[in-house]
C-alpha cells in the first residue's frame, strides 16, 4: 500500500493558499516564508523581508469557485499598508462563493475594516488569529513587527462580537502557559483553538549574535513543546470542545495524524 505523507503546517487546515504580497512587516524570527525566500535567493538578506511589496498581479480579473477552503494569507500578513488591496482581493475570491480562512496576527484597524467591508460574506469566512503567548515580552521577541497581545485579543473579541466564526492558532506556542492562554481565549473562539510547536528552529531561526537573553526566549519555546509539557496540556484540555492539536503535538500524544490535506480537525 502507498505510504502517503501526512499533512503538516498549513496543509492541516486547507489545501488552497492565496497571497498578494512578498515580504512581511511582522518579521517573525521563525518565519518559514522568510526562510524559503532566503534559501531560494528571492531576497538577499533577512532584512529585505521587511520590505513588503504587493505582487503586480495581486488581484486576478476572475476567480472561480474552488473545491475547498482558501487560506489567506500564508506567506505574509494583512497589515495596514496592504489592507485596502487585501479587501479588494478578499471580495474577489468570496464573490463566487468560496470559503476563506483568514489567518493573521491581527491589527485591530484591519480586523475592524474586514468585519465591516466583508459582512455580506460572513458565513463564508473563518478568522484564525495567531496568539502564541499572552506575554508581550515573548511576542515582541519572536514577532517584533506584529501587534501586542492586547491588540490581538481585542481583534478576536471584535470579530466574535460582530458574529463572525473565530478560531485561534497558538502555534508556535512560545511559552508553557498554554492552559491559561486557552482559558483567556476560549470565550471568544467559536470554532477551534490550536496548539502546536515551534518547528525546525535550527534551520529557520538565525541565532547570529545571540546572547543569554535571546537563548532564554528559545528555552521558553523549547519547554513549551517538551513532551512532559504537552502531556500536561492534554491532561487539562483534552475534553475541551474547542481544543485542536497540530501534528507536532499529535505525534507526542500519539493521536492519529490527519490522512487528507485540509481536514482542519
Ligand atoms: S506574520 Fe507570518 S508571514 Fe509574516 S513574518 Fe510572521 S510568520 Fe512570516
Domain boundaries, the chain: 13-56+70-253
What is the reported pLDDT for 216? 98
Closest atom of ligand 1 relative to the 130 alpha carbon? 1
Query: Can you tell me the mean pLDDT for 231-236?
Result: 98
Any residues with CB less than 8 A from the CB of 111 and at least 6 apart, and which?
Answer: 104, 127, 155, 158, 159
What is the reported pLDDT for 1? 45
Closest atom of ligand 1 relative to the 26 alpha carbon? 5
| Residue 15 φ then ψ, to 5° | -105, -10
- Most confident of the ranges 61-65, 171-175, 261-265: 171-175
What is the reported pLDDT for 15? 84
3-state secondary structure at position 61: coil
Query: Can you tell me the mean pLDDT for 226-246?
Result: 97
Query: Can you tell me the mean pLDDT for 88-110?
Result: 97
The CATH architecture annotation of domain 13-56+70-253 reads Alpha-Beta Horseshoe (3.80)
Closest atom of ligand 1 relative to the 30 alpha carbon? 7
What is the reported pLDDT for 11? 80
Closest Cα to atom 7 of ligand 1: 31
- For the chain, give the percent of residues with pLDDT over 70: 94
Closest Cα to atom 6 of ligand 1: 28
Cell numbers found for residue 233? 496540556
Strand extents, DSSP E, 107-225:
125-130, 165-170, 192-195
- For the chain, give the percent of residues with pLDDT over 90: 86
Closest Cα to atom 8 of ligand 1: 31
Query: Can you tell me the mean pLDDT for 199-222?
Result: 96
What is the reported pLDDT for 126? 98
Chain mean pLDDT for the chain: 94
Looking at residue 7, what DSSP letter applies?
P
| pLDDT tens digits, one per residue of 111-149 | 999 999 999 999 999 999 999 999 999 999 999 999 999
What is the reported pLDDT for 10? 76
Q: Which residue has the higher pLDDT, 42 or 257?
A: 42
d(CA 152, CA 154): 5
Query: Can you tell me the mean pLDDT for 143-158?
Result: 98
| pTM of structure | 0.94
Amino acid at each position: 500500500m502507498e505510504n502517503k505523507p501526512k499533512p503538516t503546517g498549513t496543509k492541516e487546515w486547507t489545501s488552497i493558499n492565496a497571497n498578494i504580497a512578498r515580504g512581511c512587516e511582522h518579521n517573525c524570527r521563525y518565519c518559514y516564508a522568510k526562510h524559503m525566500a532566503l534559501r531560494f535567493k528571492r531576497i538577499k538578506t533577512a532584512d529585505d523581508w521587511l520590505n513588503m511589496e504587493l505582487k503586480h498581479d495581486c488581484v486576478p480579473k476572475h476567480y472561480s469557485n474552488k473545491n475547498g477552503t482558501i487560506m489567506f494569507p500564508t506567506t505574509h500578513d494583512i497589515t495596514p499598508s496592504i489592507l485596502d488591496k487585501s479587501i479588494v482581493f478578499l471580495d474577489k475570491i468570496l464573490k463566487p462563493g468560496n470559503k476563506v480562512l483568514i489567518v493573521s496576527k491581527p491589527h485591530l484597524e484591519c480586523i475592524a475594516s474586514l468585519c465591516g467591508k466583508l459582512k455580506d460574506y460572513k458565513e463564508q469566512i473563518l478568522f484564525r488569529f495567531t496568539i502564541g503567548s499572552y506575554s508581550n515580552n515573548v511576542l515582541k521577541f519572536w514577532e517584533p513587527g506584529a501587534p501586542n497581545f492586547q491588540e490581538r485579543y481585542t481583534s478576536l473579541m471584535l470579530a466574535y462580537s460582530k458574529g463572525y466564526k473565530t478560531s485561534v492558532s497558538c502555534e508556535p506556542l512560545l511559552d508553557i502557559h498554554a492552559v491559561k492562554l486557552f482559558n483567556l481565549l476560549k470565550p471568544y473562539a467559536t470554532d477551534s483553538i490550536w496548539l502546536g510547536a515551534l518547528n525546525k528552529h535550527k534551520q529557520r531561526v538565525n541565532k547570529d549574535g545571540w546572547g543569554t537573553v535571546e537563548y532564554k526566549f528559545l528555552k521558553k519555546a523549547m519547554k513549551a513543546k517538551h513532551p512532559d509539557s504537552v502531556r500536561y496540556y492534554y491532561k487539562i484540555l483534552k475534553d475541551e470542545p474547542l481544543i485542536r492539536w497540530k501534528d507536532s503535538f499529535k505525534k507526542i500524544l500519539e493521536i492519529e495524524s490527519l490522512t487528507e490535506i485540509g481536514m482542519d480537525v
